[in-house]
Amino acid sequence: MLMGAIEKPWLSEKDKMASLSHWVVYFIALLGIAGGAIRCYFAWKTTLRLGNLCLVMEDNFDTFDTENTWTHEVSMSGFGNQEFEMTTNSANNSYVRDGRLYIVPTLTSDVIGTSAMIGQPPFVYNITGCTDSNATNCGAVSNSSSKAVIPPVMSARIHTRGHYSIQYGRVEISAKLPRGDWLWPALWMLPVSEKYGPWPRSGEIDIMEARGNSPDYKAQGVDYGRGSLNWGPFSWLNGVSKTFGWWTNRRKTFADDFHTYVVEWNAEFMRIYVDSRLTYMMYLRFNEPFFKRGGFPTTVANGSSYMTTPDPWDSGTKNVAPFDQPFYLIMNVAVGGTNGWFPDGVGDKPWLDGSLTATSDFAYAQSQWASTWPENPEDRALVVDSVKMWQLC
C-alpha cells in the first residue's frame, strides 16, 4: 500500500512575519506586566501610613459593658436633625447576644398603643432614664387636634465619651446594617470637647452612614455606605460637601453580611474605607487649612448687618484643625429627619423637610413604612460584631 508524501514543515523556511508577530505579542505582554508592577510599586510607595499604633479599646461583645465602655444617650431631642425616633436604654432597643451587639428600632405603638401615640385622647409620655440636660427633651405630649405625636419609633444611641477616645489613630468596626425604609444607621465620632466652638466648628467624623431603603431607592439605599467630615464656621455653613464619598456593594447590600468600616488619620491625612484601603469612601490629605478648603464667603449676614466670616481654626494645628483633638465613638440607628439626608420627593417619602408637621406626617404613615421593616427585629438591627480603637503611639 503506497503512502502519500509526509509533510515536514520544520524543513521549510520560517515565516518571518509570523515570528515577528509572536515576539511583538510577548513584548507587549511583558511591557504591560512591567508597567503594572511599576505602578503598584509607586502606589504603595506614595500611600500614606499611620505608623506605630497602640490598642486602646477592643470590644467583642461578650457582655454589654455600660459602665466602663458604653453610655446610652436617652432623649427625645431629635439630635439636631429632627429625627423621628426617641433613644432609650431599654433592652428592647440595645442588647448583646451570642457575642454581638444589636441596636434595634421598634415601634412606639407596640409599647403605648397607636391611639396614645397620635393623641386620641391626648397622652403624656416621659422617657425613662433620660440623659438630656434639657428637661423638655425628656417627655412629649400627643394631641390629635394639633397633630402633636409621641415619637413613633424607639431606638438606641451609645457612645464611648468619658471612657475611650483617640487623637490620631484607627477605628475598626465590623457590622451588618439594618434593612427598612427611612432607617439611618451611623458609626461616627465627635470631639470630646468643643475646642473650636459648637457643631460643626469642632468637627465630626462620619465613618459610615447609610440608608435602610432598598437598592431601588434613587438616593442611595442599603447597597451604599458613605463616609464624610462635617466642619464649618456655622451650622448653615458646613464644608461637608467638599469632604465626603461613598462605596457601593454591587453584588449584595450591606445588610446581607458583615463588613469592616475603618477610619485612619494622623496630622497628614484621613482615610475612611470599607473592608480594604482599595475600597475607600473618602481619602483626604491635610494639605491646606480647612478654612481655605471651604471657600467660605468673606462676609455673612448677622441679623440686619454683616460680619466677616470667622476662621474658627486659626489657633489650631495648621491644616488639620479641627481634627487635631480627641474624638470619641458613637453608634446609633436613627429614623427619618428633616436635615435632607432623605431628599424630598424620592422613594414615596411621606413627609417634607420644611413641614411643621413632619413627625406627625411620618407617624400617620406608619402602615406604609413599617411594612418594609423585617418582622425579625435582628434583621432590622445594626448588628456590631466588634469594635477596635488604636491610638497613634
Known catalytic residues are 204, 209
Question: d(Cα 14, Cα 16) in Å, to the nearest integer?
Answer: 6
Task: Write the Ramachandran bin of 388: left for phi over 0, alpha for psi from -120 to 50, otherwise beta.
Answer: beta
Q: Name the one residue in this structure whose C-alpha cell is 448653615.
A: 236
H helices present in 113-170, as ranges = 114-118
Q: Report the b/e string of 259-286 with b at 16+ CB within 10 A.
A: bebbbbbbeebbbbbbeeeeebbbbbeb
Beta strand residue intervals within 18-151, DSSP E? 53-59, 71-72, 85-87, 94-97, 100-103, 106-107, 123-126, 139-142
